[in-house]
Structure 1
Amino acid sequence: MNWQGMVRRVIWLAPENGFFFIIDRETVQLLSAEPFAEVTWASHYNLATGRPVEVPGMDYSTESQFVAPSPYGAHNWHPMSHHPETGLVYIPTLEIDYLFEGNSKPHQWGQWNTNTTYSADLMGDDAQDQKDIRQAARGFLTAWNPRDQKAAWRVHRDLAWNGGTLSTAGDLVFQGRGDGYFEALDARSGASLWTFPTQAGIVGSPMTYAIDGEQYVAVTVGWGGILGQTYGLDLGSGLQPPPSRVLAFKMGADHELPPLKPARKRPKPPPRVTDDMSILSQGAAVYAEYCQRCHGQFAVSNGRIPDLRRSAETVYSAFNVIVLDGGLEQLGMPAFKDVLSSDDALSLKAYLIDAANDDWEQRPVSAQ
């Protein structure tokens, strides 16, 4: 690229920490490091030393702090793309408010050892709390101009977890969205030009190819990954989770996706175990620490992994065998007897049955 009047061979990098780096790939000199997303942990980078200048008070080892970016990063694994004609880099961007809390508990083999705590207080006590927490996770498609070291435009996404980007010579940028749409945007302005409802969210990256001179664009459809699992999005549509698949598009095609199948009838939960808030709070804390990364925030699953509020009676009757002894290890559910006691399992069961009853009572009768 032309950098300050000189052509430099460079590396462009938009890592999780929120700064867009331009590095001379021959001398390894740091040429630029500007934030492309919300960043609170550092004010800037010292170009002479290549080190960040940290913001005082953001060290959460002594006191909990909201720090941006979150552990999911400002840009995760989803590939960005570059358009040589516009000069822009198109970055799937995340801005998530996240409370970091220090944790001094000892190392636990096979568990989440990041020296941070998943706070049960963040799980929310009602629908509004849950909505507020989800809205704190914001997604964008950022068109970054490396030459000007700033964004040319940004497009807001309803969900933070979206797919990688593909930019084409036709001045298009393709991206799959977490809310279940595949979209083509104007590479220069960010204006939406075309969308297709894919029935499921997308985190994969588009690609393009040609057969006999006809161009196709294909993308893998299926909303998974760590944030897809933990998000806590209720599939309250009355339909089964959409299948994961590859979709291919070309100009003039008119195929439609087959309709989704009705969801299986939800089992009525057993009666609440207790109204003792100390037990329910303990169960919420256990769930936040050990369960929500797979089964979703607020005990709400996206359907790829079982929603524990809608478990069959056989699951509750064999709860300790499953949770503590690993009765379903062959299906990917590990045993937790090394880190959880029978009292922990009892409180977790009480919490899940309580959440199941809340879910049953809050849904319209027609959905039951």
Structure 2
Amino acid sequence: MRNTTALRNPGFRARIAASAATAGWHHGRGGNGWWRHRNGGYGWIGPLFWPFAYFDIYDYAVWGGGFGAPFWGYGYDDIYAGMFSPYGYDDLAFYLPPRASSAPGSPDAAPDRLIQMCGDDSGDIVGLPIDLIRQAVEPTEAQRAALDDLARVSVTAAQNIKAACPTKLSLTAPGRLASMEQRIEAMLAAVATVQPSLDKFYSLLNDEQKARLTALGENQRRKIAARRGNRPVVQSCDVAQPAELKWPAEEIEARLRPDDAQRARLAALQDASARAADMLKTACQPDDAVTPPARIAAAGKRLDVMLQAVRLVRAALGDFYGTLSDEQKAQFEAIGPRRTALSDQPDRARRHSRRHRAFSF
């Protein structure tokens, strides 16, 4: 986890996220969850949304190409997973460390086991590889000053993202979407912090230096591709939704038995979810940006659309959720964990058991 070279490999981060996402499951549940991304990672790990967010932003902005796959893999499926979380309380409690000041599994304990996936504000681990850039472009004095400023603000940006690490468990769908909204707001703030300095530094480079920076990115991509056996990188947010992401209308009806007023709000929630999916699909353009300034701008636009989509769904969810009785809320929250349990196969459970033994924070 503290190997910065390894963490700059998107595939390596995806493997860590996959192990962390299933390590806390109880009763043999595990396997490939329905909320898994196409690159193998997970958008949700227990109470945490978007692990390694700072790496995903910087990797895409600086290197582009296959490095953008983790960033562009986030979308509507994560909002869906926020509403219908696969984690029950016992599963979430695994991510909280026992403390003398709070009982194990207490909702008020800070999830220190996830802190390194939230973000890191130390200069030697934040995603922006300043030393590699310096070696590649051989900056002039003015360029070196701009690069030093970029290094400084990248640490500040990482601090913004780290500050949005969850400090308590969100046990309800509205709470999870609130946590998701807070995380995306912090990422947008990080982009706004880095973007002016990145624009200034890049504008000071001559054509030869820009070519060297591009070549450095291509070299980094070749190294990672070689480690992956030269398998193609899936870099798209515009993909067909798996069957598991189908709106669970029948299950909601059977479990909650809503009255007419609740059905009207439920229909509004379903409509808001569909509109959010359409918004994110329309805003998918991972291959259009060709320079670091253009890519950081594209990242900011994508995050802004994600924030709008989350807020749209969260408002409709709040209207619906507020009409539910305590029993109905409990039934609604059980949809995700029940679906995950039913979808597991014995061989997946065995693979999970091996991962659980091997994984530690």
Asked if Structure 1 and Structure 2 have the same fold, meaning a TM-score greater than 0.5 normalized by the shorter chain, the answer is: no
Higher relative contact order (CA 8 A, sep 6+): 2
Q: Which has the larger share of helix?
A: 2
Structure with a larger share of its residues in strand: 1
TM-score normalised by L of structure 2: 0.25
Q: TM-score, normalised by structure 1?
A: 0.25
Q: Which has the larger radius of gyration?
A: 1
